[in-house]
Amino acid sequence: MKRAGLFFCALLTAGAASAQSFTLGGRYSNYSTEVGVAGIDFESGRQSSFGLLGSYRNGPLGLNFQLDHDIENGIGLVDLLPFDFAEYSRDRAEAALSYTLIPNLDIEGGVRAEQVTVGGSSIFGEQIFSDLDLTHQALFAGVNFHSRTIRPVGWYASARAYIGTAQFDSFGVSVDDDTTGMKFEAGLPIPIGLSGWEIAPGFEYERIESDQFDLKLETNRFFVNVAYTFGR
């Protein structure tokens, strides 16, 4: 009986090892963010972003991360000229632990961190508003529905809910506030031949709000991920 138990454990270990895979790649996205401050909305327009992504899976357990660097760009007051913002930049990172409940459904939880800068506004070139710096951290929980394989074409759709804190710095004053948010994402992983490469176009919508400071970040993003999977 003891030998049978050891043999069974060895089979489980071998099965888990054979199920391991590691994915690493890059991403390009085109996004637009609406920034609401005290009831006034500012629009970034369509901007470009570059990032990294990666994941590790061992049986039903998975780890994944995503980094986005949104290059500094201008931002203007919606439908009201000649107001203008000299800069807008945003860096975002997320890391998640996931578990497969059934073949097409994962539950996940993790952490998020980001830095947002909205540059000082001007009217006819004269600065009238100081920079607004936002540092945000949050925990999240979510679900990810996905196809069992990406051949000939895969799919996934995920939803996450956030709860966190943010620090706002403007006019030399720092304010802390609680935040809530959500994100919906969907993509179509497409294999490139019989190799480990895949390309995944997709769409993302997210909304982050503060409780007291009356600030919101509402972003829609089209993206293309290109990644290689080892051990598939």
State the pLDDT at residue 43.
76
Assess whether pLDDT exceeds 50 at residue 200: yes
pLDDT: which is higher, 96 or 7: 96
Residues 125-152 pLDDT 10s: 445 455 678 899 999 999 999 999 999 9
State the pLDDT at residue 90.
85
pLDDT: which is higher, 10 or 114: 114
Q: Coil, strand or helix: which one is 7?
A: helix
> Can you tell me the distance from the alpha carbon of 147 to that of 5, in angstroms, rounded to the nearest whole number?
34
> Can you tell me the distance from the alpha carbon of 57 to that of 201, in angstroms, rounded to the nearest whole number?
22
Indicate which CATH number applies to the domain containing 95: 2.40.128.90
172 forms bridges with which residues in the sheet?
A: none
Tell me how many domains the chain contains: 1
Assign 92 a pLDDT band (cuts: 50, 70, 90): very high
Residues 6-59 pLDDT 10s: 444 543 454 445 479 999 999 999 988 887 776 777 777 788 899 999 999 999
Lowest mean pLDDT among 83-97, 111-125, 144-158: 111-125
Q: Residue 35: how many CA atoms within 13 Å on its side-chain side?
A: 22
Assess whether pLDDT exceeds 60 at residue 194: yes
Q: Which two tokens stand for residue 85?
A: 């913002």
CA 160 → CA 13, 39, 139, 163, distances in Å?
32, 26, 10, 10
Residues 151-182 pLDDT 10s: 999 999 999 999 999 998 866 678 899 999 99
Q: Cβ distance 151 to 188 under 8 Å?
A: no
138 forms bridges with which residues in the sheet?
A: 112, 164
pLDDT: which is higher, 74 or 28: 28
The arithmetic mean of pLDDT across residues 90-113, rounded, is: 96
DSSP 26-92: EEEEEEEEEEEETTEEEE--SEEEEEEEEEEEETTEEEEEEEEEEEEEEEEETT-TTEEEEEEEEEE
- Full domain range(s) for residue 187: 2-230
State the pLDDT at residue 89.
79
